[in-house]
Structure formats: C-alpha cells, structure tokens
Structure 1
Amino acid sequence: MSSSYKNNYKKFLRQTYLAFAGIVIAVPFIIDASAGNMPHGFFGFNKIFADTVPPAKKTDSIKPVVPSRPKDTLIVPKTGDSAALKLPGDSTQQDTTIVTVDSLLLPKASKDSLDAVVTAKAEDSMVLMVQKKQFYLFGNANVKYKTIDLTAYEVSFDQQTGVMTAVHGKDTAGKYIGRPVMNDGGQSAESDTLEYNFTSSKALIFNTRSQYGEGYVHSEKTKRMADNTIFGFKNGYTTCNLDTPHFSFRAKKIKVIPDKLIVSGPANLEIQGIPTPLFIPFAIFPITQGQRSGILPPQFVTNAQKGLGLEQGGYYFGMGEHLDMTLRGDIYSYGSWALTASPTYRKRYKYSGGMTLSFANTRLGDPSVPQEFVNSRDFRVMWNHTMDSKARPGINFGASVNFGTSSYNQYNVYDYSTRVNNNIGSSISFSKTWQNKPYNLTVNLSDNQNLQTRDVSLTFPDANFSVQTIYPFQPKELVGTAKWYHKIGISYTNQFRNQAYFKDSSFGKKEMFDALQSGMQQNIPISFSIPVMKSFTFSPSVNFTEYWYTKKTERQWNPEKRNLGTGQKGALDTTYIPGFFAQHELSTSLSLATALYGMYDFGQGKIRKIRHVMRPSIGLTYRPDLTKGAYYDMVYNAQGDYQRASYFQGSVIGVPGEGSFGGMSFSLDNNLEMKVYSRKDTSGNHERKVKLLDGFGLNTNYNFVADSFKLSPFSLYARTNLFDKLNISASGTLDPYVTNEVSGVRKDRYVWQDGKLSLGRLTNASITMSTSFQSKDKKGGDEQRQKTLDSLQNVMDANALQAAQQRQLQMMRQNPGEYVDFDIPWRLDLSYSLSYTNRVIPDSGGVVKELRQYVSFNGDFSLTPKWKIGMNSGFDFTSMEIAYTNLYISRDLHCWQMSINLVPFGTYRQFSITINPKAGILRDLRLNRSRTFYSQ
C-alpha cells in the first residue's frame, strides 16, 4: 500500500468520534471476547463484508453482560496515532475504545458471504479501507480459511472482487523475504505472487515451487481450480530440493491431480539448466498415498552369457488391507527367462508374512556344442510368517523357509554375500505353553542345504514335549526351614524325530524316503542340590532314558564291492533292517562344585590387579550296561580288522553308550580379568577393568569299569574379547591314546607312555578372530545407526524378509556402491578362521589330516567427502586363491548418485556403472551399463 493511503486513513480517523460507530456498521468483523488476550493482531469474520448493519451504540466503558443475550465486542483505537486497527495485547496501543454490539440485532448475512470462518493475523499492522471495502496485512501475515493456510509478507483483500492477493517483501539489503506459502490439505506451494478468489475457490500463482511427495514442481504460472486440480505453464519436475535444481524435466504444460498423479506433455531432461537430447513424449509421476495396483517398469541389461535382457518388470496387485502380490519377470535374447511371484499378507495384531516363488530357465552356450551348452531349470521357495505374541497367548507359530535347487544361486544370484554362502536353511515351528501348568510342546520342520556338495538334511516332524521341573515333596505352604527332600525335582522330556539325508536331485523320490530315519527318546531326570560346607554345592541325580528306533543299520566289509572313491574292489556294504527296536539307559551321578578366587595385587603401577576365578566341578557317575544287542563287530578292511559299532549309529535321537560306566568326570572353567590405571576414569581410583579371558577350561571323564580306553578325550575351549575390539574363540579335542600310523586305529596306550610330553593327539581344533574399525560419524549418529543395523540383522537372521525387503536387500548386496554411507569416512571389518582335523577314516584305512584357513575383509574409505571406494573380498589359504571379490566406487551427486561395481575374477565376473536419482519415485530412472562373464 502506498503511503498516501495510510495518510488518508489517519485523516479519516481524526475527523470525528462518531465515525467509530460507522466502522462498526460497515465491517462485519465480530471479535470473540477471548481474542482480546492474543499477543498479535487478530480478527475473524464469519461472513463477507456486509453493507447494511444498524448502528451500534457507542460507549466509553464495557456494558454489563446480559446472560440471556451474548455480546460481541470490537476494540478500536480511540486516537488516530496508529496506522492500523490494534487489539488488546499490542504494546503499541495506548488508548482504546471498546464497542459492544448486540448480536441479536445483526441482520441476515448477505448473498456474497463466505461459508466458513476466515482468521488472519499480522506482526506489523492491519489496515482497513472502509470506503473501498479492502483490508491489508503487513509483516508475516497469516490467513486461514477451511483447509488453506497462507503465510506471506503482505496480504490484501478486496471485497468487491472477492480476491485475496499475497506478495513477498524486501529487506534492507534488497533481499526477498516472506514469499507466499500456501498449504492446502498437505500440499505446499511457495511463490512470488498469489491471487486467491474466495468466491470461486480458484487461485492464480506466479513463479511457484510446489512439493508433491518426494518431487518438486517449479512453474512460472499456475492455475488452481476449485477441486484442487492444478494446471501449470512452463514447468520443471525434479526430486532435487535446491532452489536451482541439478536436473529437471521441462514441460510446457502439466496437470496435477492431488493425491493421484502428475501428467505432462512432451518433456525434455535438463541437467544443470542445460537441455539434453533426451525427450519423452509424455510423463506420468504418481503421487498417490496408500496401496495402488500398477505396472512395474523393467530395466534394460546386457549379459554376455544370456544376451540382451529386460529385468524386474512386472505388475503389482493391491488386493486390499490384508493382501497384495508382486509379479516380476526377466527375459533375455538367448532364451533364458525367470519369473517370481511374491505375495504378502498381514492382519493387524494377529499375524504377518510373505512368500517368494521363483522359477528360472537358464540357457548358456551354443546348443550345437553339447559340452559347452547348459540348460538349467531351477526354483527357489522362500516363506516367512510371524505371529503376534498377543494374538493367542501361549501359542506361537513361525516360519522362515529358504529352499531351492543348488544351481539357482549359481545362475541367478550375483551379490557377494549370497554367492560366498554355501549353506541355506529353513525352519517352521509351532509351540504351545499351557497356562499355569508346567507343560510345553514344540513341533518343528527344518531343512539345511549345502549348495556346494548338494547334500540336503530334512527333519520333519521334530516334536518335543516337556514337563518342567516339579517338586512333588514340597508343600504348598512351607512352614519353617525347608527339608532336603523338599528340593527333589522331577522333569520329563519326549523327543520324536524324523530325518533324512539325501542329494537335492532325489527330493520327492524313492531315494529320499529310503534315507528317512525315525526315532523317539524319553528322558526322566530326578535331581536336587543343596549347599554343603558353605562353599560347595552338592547335586545328586538319577536319569533314565529310553530310545525307540524303526531301523537297524549294519555295515560290513564286502571284498566284491567297488569303492567309488578309489575305483578298486573292496568297500563297506550297508544293510538296512526295518522294525521296532528299543534301548534303555540308566545313570546315577553325584557332583560337587565350587568357585575359587585369586587376586594378584601389583601396587600403583600401570597394571594394578589381576583376578583369577576358577570353577572346578567333580562328578561320580555310574551307568549299568543295558545295551544288549545294540553293538556288533564291524570289519572295515581286507585284513579283517574290526571295531565295535552300533546298529543305530548316526541315529537322529542318539545312541546309548556301550558297556558299563563307573567313573569320574572333571571340568574346570576359568576367568581372568585385569585392572589397569586409566586417566579417563573419573573416580578416585583411576582404574579400568580389562577382560583377558572370558572363559577357558577343559573337561573329561574316566571310566573305572571299562575294559579299555578308560580315559575320554580332553575337550578344551577358550573365548575372549580383547579391548572390546578383538573377538577370539577357540576349541579343540585331545585324544590321549596312540594310533596306528598306517591304519589310524587307536591303541589302548597313552601317548605319554611312549615318552611324549603331551596330553594326547589333537584330533580337531578351530580358532576364529574378528574385529571391526570405523571412524566417527560426521553427524554423530554412528552408534545409533549400528544399533539399528544390528537390530535389522537380528530380524533378518530370525525371519526371512518379505518380498519388497528381499528385493531391496538383494539390490544392496548386488550393488553395494549405491548404498554407501558418506557420513562415515572409513570402515574396515576383518575376520580370520583356522580349522584342523585329524580323522580316522575306516573306509580308506588311514588317517586324514585337513587344514583350512580363510580370511575375509570388507570396508570402504572416502577419497573426498563425495567420493568413496570400497571392497569385499577374502583369501582361501587352502586352495591359495582369492575369494569372491567385489570392488565399488561411489560418487554423491546430491540428488543423484553414481556407482561403479567390479567383480574382477572368479567364476562370475561383472562390470557395471550406474547413475540414478536418489528419490524412490524415480528409482527406475537409471542409466546402467553392465557386462557379465561366466566361466565353468
């Protein structure tokens, strides 16, 4: 508004005191009494400016309130010192006149009145032009009408046209401030100038920037219709949130249908404001919320073995709140194809789950060259199901299934973590716990596959029923000191198992059912424990176990059978005898356990104290021989050498030990900790605890009544986490008896009897070490991010991911360069494993020693804040080969990202470069160039 308008308005206020009544008559702004407490200027009007309002009586004081007739008050300045209408609470107002209007005397609303309340406020001032029927708001003005919320530096309204205009302002430096921003039903538009017609509910907006979901639309001129449909002229669509975006699709005309989609005519891609040769005839950008069915566009790829192809194209079926399904397919020019169906289901507070069914047909090589041609038909089934714990208390059902042919990953999966993992497994479980009763039931189905050897282990069903420990001699209400027999506890477990070992090619065939083993084991332990001599715990127990079998297995040397491994005659022949067989085992034991503490004080040096805790346990056990008919003499070579073997060896429920056992068992566990001087410790001692060994020890037993081999092998173990960085775990077994150097047969003579300073022969040992190093997060969120990743990993380990999550995880593994964290400058993960076995193989008649070493490492580092290089790899010391390796380079382009992925050597080799927007709505808009190579 010009300064002349303000001066005229001041003159108008100074003319006469009676003019205040005219203002009240002309302006239909009825102010609520509570509005007088507002700190800023505020007015509301239920109707448009009225022309015929009877004059109200003026007064210099507040009239008494009549209870039966509510009053509406309007506060106006008494003097003309201010250029705007001020309300109570404004510090600039010094003298006011309160005008009271009887609401019952107001006339009916005029025809051009609005159908809702309009509220407005401004920080600087409000100016009313009575004769011209206009008002003006200055300084961070805000107007609200229905769902519209408008803020701007200056807002004006003309009653005659019904048009409200909002414009920006300038600060003392000439910078634009207070650009109009209109929010309507979750849609936001920022502009230079905005004109809104209250009568038609239409708006005209100039130089606007609107946000729809992840996308932004820049338009020189926008017309907003009454139904919120928007038409734009000279537009740009982008997902870059900068005022000057890095890229945009330029289109002359667009149409926006709120909460549905954005449609444009021919569009041209601009990068950094420079037009590119890329044109599209039309564009459709969905901005829907919630579930919608629709086409999933494929991406174009080039594969050296499969040819040109389209991948991950398909259709999404939204079937309601509880069910949906995704269909995706791949097709290649050389004849390979794949199809995946991924339904998901959910019911709130009940259950949720998803399934993935994949079928693939792979054709590699030239059919005219049979030795080089591959035609593989594969499948994979993945299913997960989770039941809400509150749905049915005491009952739980869950599933995590991952099953398929061993060659599926070989031809259809390319990410690092999946290809280096040779084992996949499945589990389906049902459990029930009886409320207020000690009963538990669990039924499982499990499967484990070795993709390298193609061995399958299938267990179904695996049922376990147990009764928790009950104390039959304990009274319901104990009076006085408990007696020793009150602590006698009895429990019961029953395990029923069916298991089969077979090759994956035999799935569903006769060979699989022939390999099926069944059995049941019942166990009834009776035990109690009491303290003796203050420092010891005395625990006697009796244990009865029963085994039920449905098959006997006998192995004997057959000189006529050909050995598949050597090709020579002579091998073990296996005979299966079906039937019902029962075995029993009874044992009694006494154990005595305690804990011993030792402290080594070094004074006030760097190392202050070392504490050693020992937990020895000694037990006496007697087990009579109840295994008559369970063992036989097995001849295992042409020389007639034999050893005792069980008819039920390898049974899924175990085998009772042969002969009587009357011996002693011994175990020793140790813990070692150290306290060192630390300046960071805020206590007066300045000490910090360091764990040297979390646990290390051994256990063995000695059979006094055995005829031979009385001493059992020593089991050793150790574990620690040094400096909270290096995780170390180790284990091993020592056999105290000597063996024949040729045949590997054990002799009943200790190794130290031959003059060797040793506890025995190391039969197996393993050690694993792992550590991780990482720089601090620039944003300070590395700890929280790691907790989130750990939580997600636990979920992924416990349950298979749903279809969309599985696809996202696969993309992350296949293209790690697209999912790097630029906030962490560098990261390194290292792990090392070493295993040693020294086995006696009866079939080969000798000792086989194996040593395996493997080291893996992965990490990344930032060359610059926007460039990152990473690698996943390892080295197999057994084969002296570099493991599957993946190198990647990433570049952060703000709203875009570039990644280069390289698999340089191995069976599967790949090179790809990808440039794609970060926004999810444009995830299928990717420029990709890839090459893949496969060699047997």
Structure 2
Amino acid sequence: MNASYKNNYKKFFRHTYLVFAGMFIAIPFIIDAVACERPQVVTFFNKSLADTTPLIRKDTGKIPKPAAVPPVTADSTQLTKGVDTSGETTVDTLFVPKISKDTLDAPVNYKAKDSIILMVPDKRFYLYGTANTKYKTIDLSAEKMNFDQETGILEATNAKDTAGKLFGGPVMNDGGQSFESDTLKYNFTSQKAKIYNTRSQYGEGYIHSQQTKKAADNTIFGFKNGYTTCNLDTPHFSFRARKIKVIPDKLVISGPANLEIEGIPTPLYIPFAIFPITQGQRSGILPPQYVVNQQKGIGLENGGYYIGLGDHFDLTMRGDVYSYGSWSLTASPTYRKRYKYNGGLNLSFANTRFGDPAVKSEFSTSKDFRVTWNHSMDSKARPGVNFGAAVNFGTSSYNRYNVYDYNTRVNNNIGSSITFSKTWQGKPYNLTMGLNHSQNLSTRDVSISFPDATFTVNTIYPFQPKEMVGTPKWYEKIGVSYNTILRNQANFKDSLFGKQAMFDAMQTGMQHNIPISFSIPVFKTFTLSPGINYTEYWYTKKFARKWDPKKWNPGLDTFGAIDTTYIPGFYSARDISASMSLSTAIYGMYTFNKNSKVKAIRHVMRPTLSASYRPDLSSKYYHELQYNKEGDKQIVSDFDGAIIGVPSPGAFGGLNFGLDNNLEMKVFSKKDTTGNHEKKIKLLDGFGINGSYNLVADSFKLSTFSLYARTNLFDKLNISASGNIDPYQVDARGRRLDKYVWQQGKISLGRLTNASVSLSTSFQSKDAKSKEKEQKIDSLENVQGADAAFAAQQRQLQMVRNNPGEYVDFDIPWRVDLSYSLSYTNTIIPDSGGVVKRITQYVSFNGDFSLTPKWKIGLNSGFDFTNMQIAYTNMYISRDLHCWQMSINLIPFGTFRQFSITINPKAGILRDLRINRSRQFQDL
C-alpha cells in the first residue's frame, strides 16, 4: 500500500468520524421532522425556555438529565408553563425552574408545505411553501416566514416564481379584520405589527396603505392611504389621505382627503372623512339630493335624520324644500318584534305653491297629506288570532304634485284594509272584523267601510254520532251552517271627508244566511245534493227614486234626470229557496297512433243540473222607474245600491244548469326520464257555461248565459275570458222583447251584453347567477331575521320604483313582459238615458335588453286603444361602471315629463355620494 492510499485511508476514517458526529447531532432534529406528516406542524421554541439555566441538584453536584421535551404530534405541539423537568433516577428534591417574564400566554401553531428549518445558533425558524401560523385570534399565511426567538418578531413575505411574478403575499386575519400585504412583521411580545403595502377590508370599504401600524388593541394607523369601495387591486376611484385611523367595528377616520378617479386627482377635497363600519342600527344625518323642478324651482330633496331607538323601533325624518316656496315633511317610524309582528308608518304633509304670488290669477297653492301604514303579525305568535293592516289614504292631488315614479302615476285607485280575525280552537266559529277604504284619484270618489264584520259557523252535522260505526245513514250527512255580515259604508267626495255630508251618506246593513245541505251518491257515478237556504236582509235606509224632468242631467247636458232621496228607518227583507242538484264527471280519451308526437287528448266534462224553488217575498220593494224622456221604464228595487245586496225580484221555480270542461294533451318528450317519454300539457284549465230556466215566470223565463274560459298555455301565456249572453231580442231602443234570438232564424245563443279578455306573458333569458342570488337572499334573511329582511325589502322596492334605471339586473341579457286587456259592455244605464256601448282596450309592455354586458336599455309603456294614445312611458339607460353605476331616466311625453341623469357608487355606504341632475315638467 503506497503512501497515497494510506493518506486516503486516514482521511476516510477522519471524514467518517465527522459524518457520524454530525449525524449524532442531527438525529433529534431529523426524528422530529420525520415524525410529522406533511404539511409539517411544530411549535416555536419559547424564548424563555431557551434562556433557562440547567437544573442542579441541591445536595449533589451531579448534572441531571436534560428536561423532557413534550412529544410532537401530527397536528401541533404546544408548550406549557408547567413542564416537569424531573429526569434523575435518584430520588432527590429538585428546584422547578422559573419561567421568563416574556413567556407567551398561548401556544403558537405553525406549519409549512415545503420545509421548516431551525437554525440553532441563530435561534431562528424558517418556513417555506404556503406557511401558516396561528396565535390566539391571529391567522397568518404567506409563502415565506421567519421567526427570531431573540426579538420575538415574525416576518412574513411573498416570493417570486420562475417568471419573476410575485405570489404568496402575507394575508393576516385577526378578529374579523383581514390584511393583504407585501411584507408583514409581527411582535409576539407586544402583539404589534407593521405592514407594508397593505390592503384591508372594513365592511363595504377597502383601504390601501403604503405603511400600516397595528396596535395591541387592533387599532390601525395608516400612512399614505386610499379609501374605496372598489374591490380591484387598482381601484377605479379612491379618497387619498395621508393619515387614516381605524377603530375596529366603529369608524374609519381620515384627515384631509382628495378624490381620485382612475388615479387622476380631482378638484374635490374634503377637510376630513368619517366612514362608519359599525354593523346594525345607528343614528345619523341623511344628506339631501339636489334637483331642479319646473314648477317648484331649485330644491333639496330627501334630507333628514335617522334615529335608531333600539332593536324594536326606529324613526326616519325627511324633508324637501324648494326655491319657489314649496315644502314637504315625512315621518316614517318602523317597529318590529321578532316572531311577533312588524310594521311601518308614513305620515307626509306637503305644501305646493305655483306661480307668482304677486299675480293672483296665476298663483295657487295645494295643501296635501298622505298616510300609509303596513302591519303584519306572525301566525305563530297567537294561534287562531291575526291582525294586519295595509293603509294608503290621502288627498287626490298628493300624487300629482309630490310623486314621480311610474307605478304610482299610472294608478288612479288606492285602497286600505285593516283586518282582525279570530278562530276558536276546536270550535267551528270564525270572526273577521275590518276597515276598508277605496279612493279614485281622478273622480275624487271615496268609499269607506267601517266597521265591517263577518261571523261564520262552519258546517256542523247535528244528527251525526260522536263515534261513527258502519256505513253512515243519509240523515247523518245533513249539515247546517250560519253566516252573518255587518256592513257600514259611506260614499262621498274627498272634499267632504269628516263633514256632516259624509255621515249623511253612511249606509248600514246586515245579512244573515243559514244553508242546510247534504249529499248522497246515487247510480254510482252521480252525486245528489238537496238543500235549503234562508237569507234575511236588514237595512237602515231606503232609496226613493223618481224621474224629475226639471233636474239638470250633466251626463246628457240637458234637463231630465233621476232624483234620489234617502228615507231612514229599519227595513227588512228575506229570501228562502229549496234546491236539489245532481252532478257527475264524464271522461273522454282520444288516442293517436304510436308514431305521432301527440299521444292522446283527454276531455273531462262536469255537468250539473239542479231544480230550485224560491217564492216572491220582496215584491213590495220593487217598482217601475222611468229613466228617460221617452218614458222607458225599468224594474228597480228600493234597496238598489245597498251594501249587503237585495233579494232577487219575483218568484223562481225552475232549473239551473251548468257545464264545466277541462282539456289536456299528452305529447312526446325527450326530457322525461321515466321511460314513457311523455309530458302533459293543459290546453284549457276550464271553460263552461251556466244558466237557468224559470218555469213559474210569466215572461223572460230563460236567464242570460254566463260563459268563462281560462288557461295557461305552455306555462307562458295566461289567458282568461268571461262574458254574458242575453238570449232575447231587443227593439231599436234596446228594450228586451220576450222572443228568443234564434226565433229570427239566426244560429246564435243571443246578444253579447258584456265581455272581457285578458292575456299576459313574460319572457327572459337565463340568469347566470340565479342560484347565487337565492343563496344571498337566504343568508340575508337568516342574518337579519324575517322582520328586518321584510322591512329592508320594502325600502328597496320603493327605491327601485323611484329609480328603475339604477336597479337593473345585468346578469339577465333581456326581458319582456306583455299584457293585453279588452272589455265590452252593451247595457241599459238608466241615468244615461238609454243603451250605452263601450269598448276599452289597453296593452302594456315593459322590458329591457343589454346592448353590451355593461350597457342596458329599458322601457315601461303601453297604448290605450280607446283614446288612441300612448300611455305613461318611462325609458331608462344604465351603464355598469364596476363600482359605480350611471343611469338616465326619461319620461318623454304626457302630463308629467321628467329627465334625470345619476352617477353614484354601488356601495350603500357611499350611496349619498352621487352626481344627480333632474328636471321635471308638469302640464297643469
């Protein structure tokens, strides 16, 4: 062996010795690392333990065994203050080491996807690859982290990929606050942090800061900041401020700020800014909106104050003021109690001034008011009891001068309803009481019913035993029920509200009804239903009508009209009838061949036939009334127009008949997965005819025919129609003759006296985010509760009505709603002097479509074929500007014309930061 080999041999053993020594030192760390499953999870060595002096026996100089290290688990390892360091085999008393004052009061859990490196001499940890650290409420993630045990500072940074692009920036979550940054430093001892180039979210707003300091109480101090509601990394707009302070869950406060749009500073400066981030109710000022109105001048609208008075009550005060002297005030309190009730009230007063006060002929004022109230009660609050209210009452000119949204302008009828109902549990009694109001804003006619009450006893079977045994007897099926109605109603002009004339027009009436009936099957497929019905009417006024040739008739612009007077007193009328009806159902099926796409058509007929008798018990209350100069007369009742109805004139003994039909079709469908590949389509949900024949009448024995039809074709087109046909001939003056129409040789059931047809349909493209919206609505209801969600929905609906262009759905490319209605009347109206024929037709349409994914055009309009003019029309154009939205609303023609353009942020917190220009024109 030569010298070179000897030297190599010595080097080999020397190197081997060094390798084994290094392995001996590294084995504990290798075992610690290998024992953990990836991603590795271990715990920081506590600085206090690293500095602790070795344990020394009190009575000997032996060095004890090293302190036992707590085992490392697969999830995490936690160091606690009370670690037992006793490791000697001899039984001696040991001193428990003192814990450093800067020891952490909670464990620190960390993990890394790639690797974790511990530098013992430097007392540093290095974490690489999707590192994560958790300490108390802090959850920090970053691509790279390093921890210095000496200073207790953890530093998190991002990394670069092979293309030089940064990724894995630090993201810190602390108690609901989120921070995204380039570099983050956190001190575990002081619990303070310094963050560079951070982006954090507070409610609907985002703050971008070059440097941020986070205090131990989570207060944030930012340097060179930008506040925005745009969620992009480079926002479209922001308020630039040098210093910002964030008080968690309360406020964002800044010093002087400048508005930047697309990074370009604007001339808009504000001395300070306060952005609330508190969730829930809070009081504050409601900024007004600047408008220009042709009749009222320059104005500020919807300014006011919101007062939060707890979880159950709040109050909103708003007002409008204009340069020409007009003003209005509105108070809107709302109340709620979860699982009990909720409601809201609006009290509005307006004083509108027109023209120049110096010129009396051109100057006028209008003082108006409106009251709306909505109340609903949870059905589970008091089982069997319910109370609800929907009130809308005011002067007829309020909407004309103070309301500008489309739906309110085109609706001339308003109404109110307040109801209380009670059902006795386990008993057949039901009581309903209420107040009802209807008002026509065009004619200024008002009708108020109060109190209204209905008491009902459901059908009871007096001959039925408590325990049924065997087949029931026929008399055990006899049922008796009772129903009574109380009505108080006044019809008057709105100018007479609260005056004596309103009370003079009050009518009071009561109706009692007792039906007795039962049904039994006969001939297997038929049902026989005999019955007796008794009705009694109570009145407090009687109408005395007569023809007065000297009275002025404004409808005909001539003299000669019917004069009506009221005779107070107590009057009663009654009606009784006995009937027996027979009904069945007949099914018919037509089957096509196997190759046809139409498999079958099914026709169901439900004929009914009944015989009834009603004696004439009210003949003394009927008489003939002349209704024109020619002396034409008509039979009328002394109680015509009574609120509880009147008994039918004359006796009746005859037959009642009816026929109802249903038509369905079964077609081939590939979508059917049952194997039959069939689909049912309803061609007609129902169509039929009803009538009667009076055997005891001296003339006009056959009644008019009542026809109806309804269907929903292809689940898209709703169609309904109804009408009445008079089978008797009429003379040149429209008077009925006791001769049937078909006696003239015509193939016809008779003359059409009235009819109506309505069609409606709706089409729209698929909503790409329909499921997300449903989930969002569900989460809103779960968070806010049903009551608060309902109140928020009502406020949102009102805002949509007022500004349709600001609330369009860009996720639906197009939408079209169409409806058509036609009505025809051909009747004798005594007050008009003869036969009046009237046809009304109206078509309405509304919809929108997207020119591009960010541009949308919409239209709400209609056409009145009777007057041959376009109905109230509202056009709008909307532009989605990501975090902003622009809308243009135009009412181009009509009595009320309007133009407005609005640009505003989408976020609710900045909704008052809007640019609005409006002009309104009105033809008086």
Length-normalised TM-score, structure 2: 0.90
Cα deviation 1:221-247 (Å, max 9, x = unaligned)? 111122222111111111111111111
2-structure distance, mates of 1:839, 1:567: 21
1-structure distance, mates of 2:95, 2:529: 96
2-structure distance, mates of 1:751, 1:800: 62
* Distance change >3 Å, CA 572–CA 394, structure 1 → 2: same
Offset, 1:12: 12
2-structure distance, mates of 1:442, 1:909: 44
Alignment of 1:66-215 (within 5 A): 73-75=70-72, 101=85, 107-215=97-205
Contact 1:41 1:125 in 2 (8 A): no
Aligned pair count reads 877
Choose from 542, 548, 565 the match for 2:538: 548
Contact 1:74 1:100 in 2 (8 A): no
Choose from 869, 875, 899 the match for 2:887: 899
What secondary structure does 1:411 align onto? Answer: helix
Offset, 1:374: 3.8
Offset, 1:569: 2.6
Cα deviation 1:157-192 (Å, max 9, x = unaligned)? 333333222211222222222211111111111111
Q: Counterpart in 1 of 2:248?
A: 258
Cα deviation 1:265-323 (Å, max 9, x = unaligned)? 22111111122222222211111112111111111112222111111111110101111
* Distance change >3 Å, CA 171–CA 719, structure 1 → 2: same
Determine whether 1:869 maps to 2:857: yes
Alignment of 1:279-358 (within 5 A): 279-358=269-348
Alignment of 1:502-901 (within 5 A): 502-603=492-593, 604-682=595-673, 685-742=676-733, 744-779=734-769, 781=771, 805-901=793-889
What secondary structure does 2:703 align onto? Answer: coil
Offset, 1:414: 1.3
Contact 2:304 2:318 in 1 (8 A): yes
Q: Counterpart in 1 of 2:3?
A: none
Choose from 904, 916, 920 the match for 1:928: 916
Contact 1:228 1:258 in 2 (8 A): yes
2-structure distance, mates of 1:769, 1:869: 25
Q: Counterpart in 2 of 1:52?
A: 52
One-letter amino acid of the counterpart of residue 573, structure 1: D
What secondary structure does 1:810 align onto? Answer: helix
Report the more deviating stretch, 846-855 or 689-698: 689-698
Cα deviation 1:125-177 (Å, max 9, x = unaligned)? 33334444433322222222222221122222333333222211222222222
2-structure distance, mates of 1:150, 1:449: 64
Cα deviation 1:739-769 (Å, max 9, x = unaligned)? 3433x33333333334443222211111011
1-structure distance, mates of 2:27, 2:56: 10
One-letter amino acid of the counterpart of residue 722, structure 2: S
Report the more deviating stretch, 204-213 or 452-461: 452-461
Offset, 1:71: 8.3
* Distance change >3 Å, CA 484–CA 694, structure 1 → 2: same
Determine whether 1:463 maps to 2:453: yes
Q: CA RMSD in A?
A: 3.0
One-letter amino acid of the counterpart of residue 693, structure 1: L
Contact 2:586 2:604 in 1 (8 A): yes
Cα deviation 1:633-682 (Å, max 9, x = unaligned)? 32333454433221111111111112221111011111122233444445
Report the more deviating stretch, 264-273 or 518-527: 264-273
Offset, 1:626: 1.7
* Distance change >3 Å, CA 49–CA 295, structure 1 → 2: farther
* Distance change >3 Å, CA 802–CA 672, structure 1 → 2: closer
What secondary structure does 1:921 align onto? Answer: helix
Offset, 1:928: 1.3
Contact 2:47 2:149 in 1 (8 A): no
Contact 1:834 1:852 in 2 (8 A): yes
Report the more deviating stretch, 611-620 or 225-234: 225-234
Cα deviation 1:183-215 (Å, max 9, x = unaligned)? 111111111111222232222111000100111
Offset, 1:51: 1.6
Offset, 1:44: 6.0
Cα deviation 1:43-81 (Å, max 9, x = unaligned)? 267885452254699xxxxxxxxxxxx986245xxxxxx
Cα deviation 1:766-799 (Å, max 9, x = unaligned)? 10111112122234659969999xx9xxxx9xx9
Alignment of 1:239-258 (within 5 A): 239-258=229-248
Determine whether 1:379 maps to 2:369: yes
Choose from 378, 383, 402 the match for 1:388: 378
2-structure distance, mates of 1:787, 1:610: 42
2-structure distance, mates of 1:304, 1:227: 55
2-structure distance, mates of 1:800, 1:745: 60
Q: Identity percentage over the alignment?
A: 70
Q: Counterpart in 1 of 2:90?
A: none
What secondary structure does 1:290 align onto? Answer: coil
Offset, 1:519: 0.8
What secondary structure does 2:742 align onto? Answer: helix
Determine whether 1:482 maps to 2:479: no
Q: Counterpart in 2 of 1:443?
A: 433
* Distance change >3 Å, CA 880–CA 638, structure 1 → 2: closer
One-letter amino acid of the counterpart of residue 711, structure 2: T
Offset, 1:119: 2.3
What secondary structure does 1:511 align onto? Answer: helix
Structure 2: runs of 5+ lacking an equivalent: 1-17, 58-66, 77-82, 88-93
One-letter amino acid of the counterpart of residue 651, structure 2: S
One-letter amino acid of the counterpart of residue 710, structure 1: K
One-letter amino acid of the counterpart of residue 635, structure 1: Q
Contact 1:394 1:435 in 2 (8 A): yes
Structure 1: runs of 5+ lacking an equivalent: 1-10, 25-30, 58-69, 76-86, 91-98
One-letter amino acid of the counterpart of residue 496, structure 1: L
2-structure distance, mates of 1:19, 1:588: 108
What secondary structure does 1:809 align onto? Answer: helix
Q: Counterpart in 1 of 2:7?
A: none
Q: Counterpart in 1 of 2:61?
A: none
Length-normalised TM-score, structure 1: 0.89
Contact 2:41 2:109 in 1 (8 A): no
* Distance change >3 Å, CA 884–CA 14, structure 1 → 2: farther
Contact 1:860 1:871 in 2 (8 A): yes
Contact 1:891 1:897 in 2 (8 A): yes
Offset, 1:40: 2.7
One-letter amino acid of the counterpart of residue 762, structure 1: L
One-letter amino acid of the counterpart of residue 479, structure 1: V
